[in-house]
Amino acid sequence: MKYLYKIKISSALILLATLMLWSCKKDEAKVYYLGGTNPVLTASTNALDLAYANADQTAVVFSWTNPDYKFTTGVSSQDVTYLLEIDTTGSNFTNPSRQQVSISKNLTFTISEGTFNDYLLNQLQLVAGVSHNLDVRVTATLTNNSAVIHSNVVNLTATPYTIPPKVTPPSTGTLFIVGSAVPVSGWNNPISPASQVAIQQFTPVSPTVYSITIALLGGGSFKLIAADGSWNEQWSTAIKNDPNEVSGGDFIFNGNDALGPVADGTYKIVVDFQRGKFSVTKQ
């Protein structure tokens, strides 16, 4: 019996040692992130001379170094995604209107004068004909959105030029809203009863910006028209009842029905033809 008891103890010790060895090997097999190097960003020029006649020509080329993400197994083989950000100096990349461009794998990005001008006018909403100070940086992340590393900040100056509106404004100089989101008249065109015409008419803020504050029904749709009684000029979203544009976004000429707010209420709608964007804000 003592012999068998010793055998059992020895077997238990061997099993325990095996488990401990397996555990150690398992720990040794873990992969740990060791870090990376902040990308070094450079620009082909720091002063952009933009011109409408050169819209297709290169405005600037941004280049940056590889962050060389490293793990205990060596240099990472995962794909790296880069986010190029352009913002006004002093905003520290917190401006909600800053331009952001996602770039996969590449270490360079070329921007034409027309595209860069569009960034300044339509995204950053800067004044044309005036020189502006800009900050640019690149943020690197691995494919699982981890290990975020920022580059240095590059300073630029650029003067945007005036361009035609992104979406052609109404030839009539007037704008109306119709649709199931509009109480009383709905999709009636001509708008009826006649007392609704003034209620559904936008106020021009500028030749390219129109605004209206109006009661809307939750869950309805709408379109914008240039003239009461005509469908010849109309604007709305590209995707019919797009839930991503309930609070605003891009709009186009002759689009599909735009989805209105979820809940009944009074809303302010601003339509910017210069930028091709609209907003819907609860009042």
Q: Which domains does the chain have, with CATH numbers?
A: 33-158 (2.60.40.10), 176-282 (2.60.40.3620)
> Does residue 38 surpass a pLDDT of 90?
yes
Mean pLDDT of 189-205: 97
Q: Give CA torsion, residues 12, 18, 24, 26, to 10 deg.
A: -120
What DSSP state is assigned to residue 257? Answer: P
Cα(238)–Cα(222) distance, integer angstroms: 13
Peptide bond into 190 cis (omega under 30): yes
Mean pLDDT of 22-40: 66
Per-residue pLDDT at 4: 42
Q: What is the pLDDT of residues 82-125, one digit of tens each?
A: 999 999 999 999 999 999 999 988 999 999 999 999 999 989 99
**Nearest residue to 175 (alpha-carbon basis) of 142, 149, 155, 201:** 201
User: Which of 45-54, 57-66, 77-86, 266-275 comes out lowest in average pLDDT?
Assistant: 77-86
Mean pLDDT of 196-216: 97
Per-residue pLDDT at 36: 81
> Does residue 8 surpass a pLDDT of 60?
no
Q: What is the pLDDT of residues 123-142, one digit of tens each?
A: 999 999 999 999 999 999 98
Of 38 and 11, the structure prediction assigns the larger pLDDT to: 38
Q: What is the pLDDT of residues 229-274, one digit of tens each?
A: 999 999 999 999 999 999 999 999 999 999 999 999 999 999 999 9
Place of tokens 């920022």: 150
Per-residue pLDDT at 164: 85
> Does residue 214 surpass a pLDDT of 50?
yes
Per-residue pLDDT at 6: 46
Q: What is the pLDDT of residues 139-157, one digit of tens each?
A: 999 866 678 999 999 999 9
Length of the chain (residues): 283
Per-residue pLDDT at 2: 45
Query: What are the Cα distances from residue 255, in Å, to 49, 174, 240?
Result: 35, 18, 8
Q: What is the pLDDT of residues 166-188, one digit of tens each?
A: 999 999 999 999 999 999 999 99
**Nearest residue to 226 (alpha-carbon basis) of 166, 167, 162:** 167
**What rounded mean pLDDT belongs to the chain?**
89
Query: What are the Cα distances from residue 251, in Å, to 127, 197, 239, 259?
Result: 22, 23, 9, 12
Per-residue pLDDT at 73: 56
Per-residue pLDDT at 119: 96
What percent of the chain is predicted at pLDDT more than 90?
75
- Mention every residue, 6+ apart, whose C-beta is less than 8 A from residue 176: 191, 197, 200, 201, 202, 224, 225, 226, 227, 228
Which pLDDT band, with edges at 50, 70 and 90, does 23 fall under? Answer: low
Per-residue pLDDT at 149: 94
Which pLDDT band, with edges at 50, 70 and 90, does 66 fall under? Answer: very high
Cα(186)–Cα(41) distance, integer angstroms: 54
Per-residue pLDDT at 266: 98
